[in-house]
């Protein structure tokens, strides 16, 4: 049994592995992204909020605080996070910098969630954490740190965690949405709540209720089964895993168009694989474009930027599949 599990995990590691060159470039990109967060998105405003707003959940790290910390605390987090991002870009003590960054991000997000709203960005936080163990400083680095030589293992861990997260989301949908009743629709209920309560009325949101009930029922079942099946695609082969990630990107793109829900944090996680086929120069150009589009979110409609970002990921994934087919790459 243990040998069979080891064999399965070796397959998962092989199917999710990316090149050292890509890891190095993506490390630098994440460093810039962390620097952007440190400068513009550190939640310093929390330090000035009334204590009555502080309502952390039971299992939150924020439970270690009596209330929102002093603004000086957030300033210290900002300085540490920016310093870590600078070291990551230079390739200097990358692993420890990623570890500190992930710890600070988890703590800051726990404090943000204490206001009552929870965002779906756990996979991005885990991506930052997993770079603590990846040998991403083999290239473009001033001081390579200790090598684990287990990139396939930790890329596999990232893919497994993503698959498990999708499974948990799909399993809950399956329990509630697969009811063989045309008079009910899980995704339509989700849409209407967001449309009328959260004012998510952009793009094609107003046309979504026009879908016939039978197609709406198919959407319910397809969404649930699709999310549950991530691990099967991962184990089947590298090519099928890439197919799944492209479909997942299309799924998120459609969510953006019809439900106005972007799951922005998943762009960087799925891009970890669907951008990995690019050569150095086009990869740098594309990541630079993605980075500047992220900057423009503050000045333009975020939804349209996310739509463009998902379109880029889908397009890159399609090119990857075509290239793998020409090179007989895949399973």
Same domain flag for 161 and 143:
no
- Where residue 35 falls among pLDDT bands split at 50, 70, 90? very high
Domain boundary among 118, 149, 180: 149
Q: Is-above-0.85 flag for pTM?
A: yes
| pLDDT at 210 (0 to 100) | 92
Residue 189 has pLDDT above 50, yes or no: yes
The tens digit of pLDDT for each residue in 271-326 reads: 999 999 999 999 999 999 999 988 887 556 788 899 999 999 999 999 998 887 76
- Where residue 331 falls among pLDDT bands split at 50, 70, 90? very low
Our count of domains for the chain comes to 2
Residue 327 has pLDDT above 80, yes or no: no
Same domain flag for 132 and 160:
no
Residue 23 to residue 129: CA distance in whole angstroms: 14
Q: Is residue 26 packed enough to be buried (19+ CB in 10 Å), middle (13-18) or exposed (0-12)?
A: buried
| pLDDT at 118 (0 to 100) | 64
Q: Is residue 49 packed enough to be buried (19+ CB in 10 Å), middle (13-18) or exposed (0-12)?
A: middle
Mean pLDDT of 252-273: 93
Give domain status of residue 260, yes or no: yes
The tens digit of pLDDT for each residue in 111-157 reads: 988 887 666 789 999 999 999 999 998 888 887 767 777 899 999 99
Give domain status of residue 217, yes or no: yes
Give domain status of residue 2, yes or no: no
Give domain status of residue 80, yes or no: yes
Same domain flag for 75 and 170:
no
* DSSP character at residue 69: P
Residue 194 to residue 190: CA distance in whole angstroms: 6
Domain that holds residue 277: 155-331
């Amino acid at each position: 049994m243990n040998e069979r599990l080891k064999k399965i995990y070796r397959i998962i590691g092989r199917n999710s592995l990316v090149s050292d060159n890509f890891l190095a470039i993506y490390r630098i990109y994440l460093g810039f992204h962390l620097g952007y967060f440190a400068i513009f998105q550190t939640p310093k405003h929390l330090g000035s909020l009334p204590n009555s707003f502080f309502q952390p959940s039971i299992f939150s790290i924020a439970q270690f605080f009596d209330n929102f910390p002093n603004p000086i605390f957030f300033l210290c987090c900002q300085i540490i996070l920016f310093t870590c991002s600078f070291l990551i870009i230079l390739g200097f003590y990358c692993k420890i910098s990623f570890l500190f960054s992930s710890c600070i991000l988890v703590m800051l997000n726990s404090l943000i969630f204490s206001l009552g709203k929870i965002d779906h960005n756990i996979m991005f936080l885990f991506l930052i954490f997993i770079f603590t163990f990846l040998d991403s400083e083999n290239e473009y680095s001033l001081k390579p740190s200790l090598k684990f030589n287990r990139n396939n293992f930790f890329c596999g861990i990232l893919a497994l965690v993503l698959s498990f997260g999708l499974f948990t989301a799909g399993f809950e949908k399956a329990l509630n949405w697969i009811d063989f009743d045309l008079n009910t629709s899980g995704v339509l209920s989700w849409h209407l709540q967001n449309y009328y309560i959260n004012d998510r009325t952009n793009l094609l949101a107003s046309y979504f209720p026009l879908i016939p009930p039978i197609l709406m029922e198919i959407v319910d079942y397809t969404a649930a089964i699709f999310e549950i099946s991530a691990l099967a695609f991962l184990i089947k082969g590298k090519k099928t895993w890439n197919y799944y990630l492209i479909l997942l990107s299309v799924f998120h793109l459609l969510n953006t168009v019809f439900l106005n829900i972007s799951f922005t944090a998943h762009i960087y996680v799925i891009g970890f694989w669907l951008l990995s086929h690019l050569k150095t120069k086009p990869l740098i150009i594309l990541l630079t474009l993605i980075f500047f589009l992220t900057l423009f979110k503050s000045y333009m409609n975020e939804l349209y930027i996310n739509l463009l970002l998902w379109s880029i990921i889908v397009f890159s994934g399609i090119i990857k599949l075509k290239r793998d087919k020409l090179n007989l790459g895949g399973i």
